[in-house]
Amino acid sequence: MGRKSNSAKLRRLVLDVLKPHTPTLPEFATKLSSMPGVEGVNVTLIEIDRDTETVKVTIDGELDYGKIRAAIEEWGGVVHSVDEVVAGSKMVREAAPAEYKFKLRTYEGKG
């Protein structure tokens, strides 16, 4: 039986990235979207300072995290954290906090 590859494809990545001002956000998103397996990219500016930008990057497709991280580093950025990962044959919808069912416990005190 064959061994599974460690470079298994992921369906979605949400990354916290620190990057220089160049490439610009449109250029950065376009570069990411042109990578093999990438079907869509959202880049949201979180914070900007004199030399860098902190961005939230959401990428959908058939993804290879190692190649994406390497490309971001090649463009002068660094992945601060991986905030969400979706893998498998089905995208699982996460329940919103309001959808959680909490069991109400009542305690009958002894007088």
- Would you say residue 109 lies in a domain? no
- Would you say residue 97 lies in a domain? no
- Would you say residue 77 lies in a domain? yes
* CA pair distance 20, 13, nearest whole angstrom: 21
CATH number at residue 70: 3.30.70.1340
- Would you say residue 107 lies in a domain? no
Domains in the chain: how many in total?
1
- Would you say residue 106 lies in a domain? no
- Would you say residue 103 lies in a domain? no
- 110 pLDDT above the threshold of 70: no
The pair phi, psi for residue 79, each rounded to 5°, is: -85, 115
Query: What is the pLDDT at residue 80?
Result: 97
- Would you say residue 64 lies in a domain? yes
77 within 8 A of 18, measured Cβ to Cβ: yes
58 within 8 A of 12, measured Cβ to Cβ: yes
Confidence of residue 1 (pLDDT cuts 50, 70, 90): very low
- Would you say residue 42 lies in a domain? yes
Total-model pTM: 0.77
Mean pLDDT on 48-72: 97
Domain extent for 68? 10-88
Which helix (DSSP H) or strand (DSSP E) does residue 69 occupy?
A: helix 65-74
